[in-house]
Chain A
Amino acid sequence: MTLHKHTLTELKALLDAGKVSARELTDTFLARIEALDGELNSFVTVTAEQARREADAADAARSKGDTGLLNGLPIAHKDIFCTDGVRTSCGSRMLDNFISPYDATVVEKMRAAGAIMLGKTNMDEFAMGSSNETSFYGPVKNPWDLSRVPGGSSGGSAAAVAARLAPAATGTDTGGSIRQPAALTGITGLKPTYGTVSRWGMIAFASSLDQAGPMAQSAADCALMLQTMVGHDSKDSTSLDRTTDNYLADLDKPLAGLTVGLPEEFFPASLDDRIAELTRETARELERQGAKVVSVSLPSVKLSVPAYYVIAPAEASSNLSRFDGVRYGYRCQDPVDLMDLYKRSRSEGFGDEVQRRILVGTYALSHGYYDAYYLRAQKVRRLISDDFARAFEKADVILGPTSPEVAFQLGAKKDDPVTMYMADVFTIAVNLAGLPALSMPGGMIDGLPVGVQLIGNYFREGQILNVAHRYQQATDWHRQAPAFGGEK
């Protein structure tokens, strides 16, 4: 078996056993990126030279006894994380020339654990999108079918991992941006509890919803990555100060005694029967392993998309006001005055979807509309959060589909924002409530992967990783790889 096919966990074992060097691994993945990414467009920037330097340093450190958790493992970072001395574009023309002068906390922590950065992955502009088509750098292709989208906004990270151009990557999830692309590309991705991973140096979209997390081939790989990503950070005022959990310790724990809740609202009549059936089959597999399956209800979840499309744009309109053409980023040519400089720099620097969301957010927060939109949406957010609290009285974990459909054709929804927004109908409620959730491969339809979503109670990342790992011990959906790139 060639090196690139291994999971992150397997590669770590090979490194630990001295069977492969960090440099060999890094060269393997850099060669695949070089050979294959022209078609996929999953990377915005490849940091080959820096990666080789870091790999040699990791090998040297290992020979001196360094056993950092990710020592010598190559990974990719979504281009939303600031990386010292490396362009950090956020998928936008606005930041096309932005060389970050510092590292995001996530980047710093993973570097400290010995991870090697292969490069920065493509994404929807400012993480606003569900298909990776809003990127200034062009759409990413889904390696399962190059005419289809990989999902978004972490579409570059998802496609790169699915095509085995990187064993793992970071992503961010504001309304489903880790889980939906993970589902559409057949990988595993986790959004942690809000406040678990520092947002310092992660370019802000909607600050009360944004959360970073791991994307990889398996739940065990995600646990390995998550272990290095979490922890209190005084530079993020929403970062929670609590003892770090051990996500690796309970991965193998048997599922006897576990109660799995199936929310009826996640199986509407409009849902593709095949996706509903694969999701139910996942529940049956957990039952075979000793879990009990019960029905739960989340009646207010039907309002999560409308609530999200008030709250997220409102927060985005405020966060994106910092891009003014003065201190960094894009500036228009020959501004006649300061107002012209602001307006043209922003309208030329931001793409259509980002401008739409800024306008919706500005409108929702403007005088006379605050109560009808923002305040009402925050109240609905409470209803959704209360629904989950009631459901978790009956169940330990909640199971449902991640996405209402498999990967769709490039261009199919590009010009219809509201239809595109429905791609996140099953993922958004989790962000509004701040809960942890993961997506894992749970089957295939017509050669395209289907994702199944596991939602945990607050701080129960370890539990959903355990359930996903047990599922992946009994099934091999997560080991399916696209034919793209093949045996090279």
Chain B
Amino acid sequence: MAIDQDTVLKVAHLARLHVSAEQSQALAGRLSDILNMVDQLQQAEVDNIAPLAHPLDVSQPLREDVVQPADLRDRVLPLAPASEGSCFLVPRVIE
């Protein structure tokens, strides 16, 4: 399936990527190439086939909900592009 520039811009917004109108043209071509290749999937006979999410038949394991020390704040906060006190800083979101 081919996708157009408008769809590229819409999907880029959903993915929180900045794509200029100029870039969207080239991207539409590239992404259409990929989607055309992927369209071979339409040949497959998949009626009555169950989807496979995990190759081995394992269920999600459960563990006890136990409090564990995670005293990493002093190591984690300095990794942030901007922080103050015990908070991450972002541009103002509430006027």
Residues of A within 8 A of B (CB): 98-99, 101-102, 193-195, 208, 234, 237-238, 240-241, 300, 302-303, 305-307, 309-310, 317, 321, 324-331, 335-344, 346-348, 350, 355-356, 358-360, 362-364, 366, 372-373, 375-383, 385, 417-418, 421, 432-435, 458
The answer to whether A376 touches B79, judged by C-beta atoms less than 8 angstroms apart, is no
CB < 8 Å neighbour of B37 from A305, A324, A435: A305
| Among candidates B8, B12, B90, residue contacting A338 with C-beta atoms closer than 8 Å | B90
Q: Are A101 and B76 in contact (CB under 8 A)?
A: yes
Contact (Cβ within 8 A) A300 B55: no
Q: Is the CB of A98 within 8 A of B79?
A: yes
Give, as a whole number of angstroms, the nearest-CB distance from B17 to chain A: 5
Chain A residues in 8 Å Cβ range of B54 = 194, 208, 238, 434
Q: Are B81 and A325 in contact (CB under 8 A)?
A: yes
Q: Which of B3, B15, B37, B49 contacts A383 (CB 8 A)?
A: B49
Per DSSP, are chain A's interface residues mostly helix, strand or loop, or mixed? helix
In the bound complex, residues from chain B placing their C-beta under 8 Å from that of A340 are: 18, 91
Query: Which residues does chain A contribute within 8 Å of B31, judged by CB atoms?
Result: 356, 359-360, 363
- Tell me, yes or no, whether B44 is within 8 Å of chain A by CB: yes
Q: Closest approach, in angstroms, between the C-beta of B47 and any C-beta of chain A? A: 9
Contacts of A241 in B (CB 8 A): 61
Q: Indicate whether A385 sits within 8 Å of B17 (C-beta atoms), given known contacts A309-B34, A309-B38, A418-B37.
A: no
Please pick, from A355, A366, A373, the residue contacting B14 in the complex, using a CB distance under 8 A: A366
Where the two chains meet, the residues of B that have a C-beta atom closer than 8 Å to any C-beta of A are 3, 7-8, 11-12, 14-19, 27, 30-31, 33-35, 37-44, 46, 49-56, 58, 60-61, 63, 72, 75-76, 79-82, 88, 90-93
Contacts of B63 in A (CB 8 A): 234
Known pairs A310-B41, A338-B93; A327 contacts B88 (CB<8 A): yes
For the A-B complex, the count of residue pairs with Cβ-Cβ distances under 8 Å equals 166
Question: A383-B49, A418-B34 given as contacts; is B90 within 8 A of A326 (CB)?
Answer: yes
Contact, CB under 8 Å: B17 / A360: no
Interface of B is mostly: loop
In the bound complex, do residue B8 and residue A359 qualify as a contact, i.e. CB atoms below 8 Å apart? yes
- Option from B18, B30, B39, B60 in Cβ contact (under 8 Å) with A237: B60
B8 touches A337 (CB 8 A): no
What is the bound-complex CA distance between A362 and B30, given in angstroms?
A: 15
- List chain A residues, Cβ under 8 A from B40: 302-303, 306
Contact, CB under 8 Å: A306 / B53: no
For A237, list chain B residues within 8 Å (CB). 60-61
A318 and B30 CA atoms in complex are apart in Å by 21
Contact sample, A vs B, 17 pairs, CB 8 Å cutoff = A193-B56, A195-B56, A208-B53, A237-B61, A300-B44, A306-B40, A336-B91, A342-B16, A344-B18, A346-B15, A347-B18, A347-B19, A358-B15, A359-B17, A380-B44, A381-B51, A417-B30
Q: Which residues in A have their C-beta under 8 angstroms from that of B53? A: 208, 378
A326 touches B88 (CB 8 A): yes
Interface centre among A306, A343, A458 (most CB of B within 10 A): A306
Task: Evaluate contact between A337 and B37: CB separation under 8 angstroms.
Answer: no
Chain B residue nearest to A232 in the complex (CB): B61
Residue of B nearest to A355 (CB): B17
CA A317 to CA B54, docked complex, whole Å: 18
CA distance A326 to B43 in the complex (A): 43
A242, B53: Cα distance in complex, Å? 21
- By a CB distance below 8 angstroms, the chain A residues around B50 are 379, 382
Does B81 lie within 8 Å of A379, measured CB to CB?
Answer: no
Q: How far is the CA of A360 from the CA of B81 in the complex (A)?
A: 28
Which residues of chain B are within 8 angstroms of A360 by Cβ–Cβ distance?
31, 34-35, 38
